[in-house]
């Protein structure tokens, strides 16, 4: 079986963009691939975090993975900091990555622009190398991610190719899996920006998986719309296109069926229907999140970490041998 690896950060709240761009595809792919789904808490600390909140969010995110349909009997679910090999391989790959490559990463450039560059952590700069380690440790074939991670994934491929060229075949070179629809869900408040958990200004534009019905209704009601009244898919009308994409993905109706459903209707109806569909979709997920007790979660994460560690250890050993990093311990 080929392998997939993916992860999300336990920061802020998981939103519909994370679900439609990534988690939904993990669920769909987990039966075809040997699957590793990680809660990437080491990525989270590249920006300042409150330790208590980070710990709580780590467990909440694990509950969300399980509640959206990740099956721990067939997929490996684990917390990144439980598998020390992620950080050790990062050091090794840091020596293959190039400063110029990291400086070109748009996520870093955006953040550096927002904060002053000297206040951005070295870890934030190095984030894509940690991500490359995550992926390469599991000899991953396919990485299902949203579009914002495409550039980081290309870097992971470049690092793998360079390492294999310089030190002999060590890593599988991964392929991205970026969905045709839903790879970039936009903010409801500003459809020129992606739905994002760290963008505080756009909280109103972000439907969280744990939002209650009132919040969902309020956010859709206030969603920005375009000029023009016709409700149909049109990439040049970003706001309406985004709303219809969400509706299409959550209902499973084809684009033609969605357009037929809204034919002759107005934005108010679209927003109401979207809120109804979203509330109906979120309710069972939220119930499952509440239903997973601590002991069960601990057992799943422990089992996941053990399984992940065994594979990570073998890959790291191979990488160290490829480099000539041999000491007294085998
Ligand atoms: N708006 C989005 N549309 C589609 N997919 C998205 N993803 C994120 N935003 C969207 C995908 O969700 C997965 C997990 O994301 P992450 O936790 O690594 O965070 P991120 O990519 O940095 O984006 P977030 O969640 O909005 O956080 P911030 O605000 O920190 O940038 C990834 O596969 C991602 O592509």
In this structure, are 146 and 284 located in the same domain?
no
In this structure, are 26 and 90 located in the same domain?
yes
pLDDT confidence of residue 285: 98
194 is catalytic: yes
In this structure, are 31 and 129 located in the same domain?
yes
Closest ligand 1 atom, CA of 15?
A: 25
Asked if 141 and 152 touch (Cβ cutoff 8 Å), the reply is no
The CATH number assigned to the domain holding 130 equals 3.40.50.620
Number of CB atoms found within 10 A of residue 126's CB: 18
In this structure, are 99 and 235 located in the same domain?
no
Distance CA(102)–CA(93), nearest Å, equals: 12
Phi then psi dihedrals of residue 258, to 5 deg: -65, -45
Closest ligand 1 atom, CA of 184?
A: 3
Give the pocket of ligand 1 (CB within 6 Å).
8-9, 17-18, 20-22, 145-146, 148-149, 183-185, 194-199
Distance in Å, CA 52 to ligand 1 centroid: 22
Q: Which domain holds residue 259?
A: 200-289
pLDDT confidence of residue 203: 83
In this structure, are 161 and 308 located in the same domain?
yes
In this structure, are 160 and 308 located in the same domain?
yes
Among 7, 22, 44, 184, residue to substitute to test ligand 1 (most atoms within 8 Å of Cβ): 22
pLDDT confidence of residue 200: 62
Provide the domain count of the chain: 2
For the chain, 330 residues long, give each residue's pLDDT as a single digit of tens. 999 999 999 998 999 999 999 999 999 999 999 999 999 999 999 999 999 999 999 999 999 999 999 999 999 999 999 999 999 999 999 999 999 999 999 999 888 777 776 788 999 999 999 999 999 999 999 999 999 999 999 999 999 999 999 999 999 999 999 999 999 999 999 999 999 987 666 688 999 999 999 999 999 999 999 888 889 999 999 999 999 999 999 999 999 999 999 999 999 999 999 999 999 999 999 999 999 999 999 999 999 999 999 999 999 999 999 999 998 887
In this structure, are 122 and 233 located in the same domain?
no
The CATH number assigned to the domain holding 237 equals 1.10.240.10
Q: Is 114 inside any structural domain?
A: yes
Q: Is 329 inside any structural domain?
A: no
Closest ligand 1 atom, CA of 8?
A: 17
197 is catalytic: yes
Buried b or exposed e, range 142-162, using 16+ CB within 10 angstroms: bbbbbebbbebbebbbbbbee
pLDDT confidence of residue 53: 97
Distance in Å, CA 184 to ligand 1 centroid: 9
Q: Inter-axis angle of helices 267-291 and 213-221, to 10 degrees?
A: 150
Q: Is 192 inside any structural domain?
A: no
Tokens encoding 301: 């994460």
Q: Is 188 inside any structural domain?
A: no
DSSP state for residue 35 in the 8-state scheme? E
Q: Is 92 inside any structural domain?
A: yes
In this structure, are 248 and 300 located in the same domain?
no
pLDDT confidence of residue 117: 66
Q: Is 204 inside any structural domain?
A: yes
Residue by residue, DSSP assigns 118-132 as GGS-HHHHHHHHHHH
In this structure, are 310 and 222 located in the same domain?
no
Distance in Å, CA 265 to ligand 1 centroid: 32
Q: Is 139 inside any structural domain?
A: yes
In this structure, are 246 and 126 located in the same domain?
no
Query: pTM to 2 decimals?
Result: 0.95
In this structure, are 119 and 267 located in the same domain?
no
**Phi-psi sector, 20: left (phi>0), alpha (psi -120 to 50), beta:** alpha
In this structure, are 266 and 121 located in the same domain?
no
111 is catalytic: yes
State the catalytic residue, choosing from 57, 111, 219, 271. Answer: 111
pLDDT confidence of residue 215: 96
Q: Is 317 inside any structural domain?
A: yes
State the catalytic residue, choosing from 57, 194, 219, 271. Answer: 194
């Amino acid at each position: 079986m080929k392998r997939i690896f993916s992860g999300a950060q336990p920061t802020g709240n998981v939103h519909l963009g994370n679900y439609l761009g990534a988690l939904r595809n993990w669920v769909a792919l987990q039966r075809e691939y040997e699957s590793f789904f990680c809660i990437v808490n080491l990525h989270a600390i590249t920006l300042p975090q409150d330790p208590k909140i980070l710990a709580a969010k780590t467990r909440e995110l694990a509950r969300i993975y399980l509640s959206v349909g990740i099956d721990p009997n067939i997929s490996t679910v684990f917390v990144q900091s439980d598998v020390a090999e992620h950080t050790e391989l990062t050091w090794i790959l840091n020596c293959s990555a190039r400063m110029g490559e990291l400086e070109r990463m748009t996520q870093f450039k955006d953040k550096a622009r927002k904060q002053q560059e000297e206040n951005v952590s070295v870890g934030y700069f190095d984030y894509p190398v940690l991500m490359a380690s995550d992926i390469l440790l599991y000899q991953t074939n396919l990485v299902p991610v949203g579009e914002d991670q495409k550039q980081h994934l290309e870097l992971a491929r470049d690092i793998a190719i360079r390492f294999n060229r310089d030190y002999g075949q060590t890593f599988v070179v991964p392929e991205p899996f970026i969905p045709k629809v839903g790879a970039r869900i936009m903010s409801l408040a500003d459809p020129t920006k992606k739905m994002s958990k760290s963008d505080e200004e756009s909280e109103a534009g972000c439907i969280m998986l744990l939002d209650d019905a009132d919040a969902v209704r309020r956010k859709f009601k206030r969603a920005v719309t375009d000029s023009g009244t016709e409700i149909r898919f049109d990439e040049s009308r970003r706001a309406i296109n985004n709303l219809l994409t969400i509706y299409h993905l959550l209902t499973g109706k084809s684009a033609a069926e969605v357009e037929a459903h809204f034919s002759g209707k107005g934005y108010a109806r679209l927003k109401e229907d979207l809120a109804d569909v979203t509330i109906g979709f979120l309710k069972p997920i939220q119930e499952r999140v509440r239903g997973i007790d601590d002991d069960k979660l601990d057992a799943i994460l422990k089992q996941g970490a053990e399984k992940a560690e065994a594979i990570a250890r073998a890959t790291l050993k191979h990488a160290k041998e490829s480099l000539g990093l041999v000491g007294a311990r085998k």
